[in-house]
């Protein structure tokens, strides 16, 4: 496992310590989980964006009529 050092504000460090005590976890474990969650979420989001761009490059996207049909299904007409 690799170790990294990340400077954080005093306030963030205090909040992390308090959270660690409440969860009965080490601050290292909480920080590790936070980084893992962030990396996973960003990887997923970038993959979805790249997939969408690939769809566009292939010309595989909804027509204006298809988009209108989706909106019509979920929006109530104005009274």
d(CA 68, CA 49): 22
- Residue 30 inside a domain? The answer is yes
Is residue 15, in this structure, part of any structural domain at all? Answer: yes
At residue 14, the 3 state secondary structure works out as helix
In a domain, 2, yes or no: no
> Would you list the DSSP string of 49-77?
HHHHHHHHHTT-S--HHHHHHHHHHHSPP
- For the chain, the domain total comes to 1
Residue 3 lies in a domain: no
- For 49, the domain range is 10-74
Determine, yes or no, domain membership for 4.
no
Predicted confidence (pLDDT) per residue in 19-76, tens digit: 999 999 999 999 999 999 999 999 999 999 999 999 999 999 888 999 999 999 998 7
69 falls within a domain: yes
Does residue 1 belong to any structural domain of this protein? no
pTM across the whole model: 0.70
């Amino acid at each position: 496992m690799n170790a990294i050092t990340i400077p954080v504000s005093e306030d963030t460090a205090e909040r992390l310590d308090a959270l660690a005590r409440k969860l009965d976890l080490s601050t290292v474990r909480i920080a590790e989980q936070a980084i893992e969650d962030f990396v996973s979420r960003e990887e997923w989001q970038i993959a979805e964006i790249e997939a969408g761009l690939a769809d566009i490059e292939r010309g595989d996207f909804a027509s204006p009529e298809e988009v209108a049909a989706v909106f019509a299904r979920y929006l109530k007409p104005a009274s």
